């Protein structure tokens, strides 16, 4: 018997086509580049997707250094905060989940970290055109931290930039399995998009959007 699903996952299951949309947009967001900032573009789109496709009240932290959560949503009359992580599957394996950014990474700092909010983990498998969404609950994260000890963490070399540390990639399949057991999992296959055919349209729409917003409050010429 499945334990109670997270309300946000339950809501996503009512409209699975949004994952097909996310899968196609995922590639489009690479048009502006493949650097680290593409992750932030994905997060921004996902927040807007939740707001506009489900008519949800979404809030984000006022401070950019408040890293414990990325957005909150009022659902079932309760505000719930989530940490949002988006990743590309690498050679069939998940990547490290970064959970801290500030200061020099050390196992001592990792040992003191306390999970306070669930992680909404979204993974794209480009080879098979699939999007996976998992919800890692705080109780599971904390229990694994106690069970695995230092093996829970990935600590980079000291010259790594940006700094910080994360959850060991070997731990992520365990979290995925726990999410599935609780029903906190959804996936979808999406039809791929040929980026080369939409680049010109993308920049044209981008320009028109910025022009429209910039000129919105300007009087028209007689």
Alpha helices in the chain (DSSP H): 7-13, 17-28, 37-53, 107-112, 138-148, 172-181, 199-214
Determine if the pTM surpasses 0.85: yes
The SS3 of residue 176 is helix
The number of distinct structural domains making up the chain is 1
> Which 8-state DSSP code applies to residue 150?
G
In a domain, 150, yes or no: yes
Walk along the chain (222 residues) and give the pLDDT tens digit of each residue. Answer: 346 789 999 999 999 999 999 999 999 999 998 877 888 899 999 999 999 999 999 999 876 555 689 999 998 888 999 999 999 887 667 788 888 876 667 888 888 889 999 999 999 999 999 999 999 999 999 999 999 999 999 988 765 555 678 999 999 999 999 999 999 999 999 999 999 999 999 999 999 999 999 998 777 765
CA angle 113, 115, 120 (to 5 degrees): 130
Question: 170 is in which domain, residue-wise?
Answer: 7-194
Q: What is the CATH number of the domain that holds 164?
A: 3.40.600.30
In a domain, 215, yes or no: no
Q: Is 134 in contact with 179 (CB distance < 8 Å)?
A: yes
């Amino acid at each position: 018997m499945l334990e109670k699903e997270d309300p946000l996952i339950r809501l996503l299951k009512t409209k699975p086509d949004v994952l097909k949309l996310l899968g196609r947009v995922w590639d489009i967001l690479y048009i502006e580049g493949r650097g680290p900032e593409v992750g932030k573009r994905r997060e921004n789109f996902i927040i807007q997707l939740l707001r506009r496709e489900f008519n949800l009240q979404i809030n984000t932290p006022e401070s950019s250094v408040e890293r414990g959560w990325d957005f909150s949503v009022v659902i079932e009359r309760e505000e719930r905060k989530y940490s949002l992580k988006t990743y590309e599957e690498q050679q069939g394996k998940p990547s490290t989940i970064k959970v801290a950014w500030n200061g020099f990474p050390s196992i001592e700092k990792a040992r003191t970290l306390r999970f306070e909010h669930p992680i909404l983990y979204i993974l794209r498998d480009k080879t098979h055109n699939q999007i996976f969404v998992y919800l890692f609950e705080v109780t599971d994260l904390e229990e694994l931290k106690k069970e695995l000890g230092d093996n829970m963490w990935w600590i980079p070399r000291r010259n790594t930039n940006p700094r910080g540390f994360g959850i060991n990639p070997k731990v992520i399949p365990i979290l995925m399995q726990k999410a599935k057991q609780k029903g906190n999992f959804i996936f979808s296959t999406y039809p791929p998009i040929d980026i080369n055919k939409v680049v010109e349209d993308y920049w044209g729409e981008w320009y028109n959007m910025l022009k429209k917003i910039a000129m919105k409050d300007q009087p028209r010429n007689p």
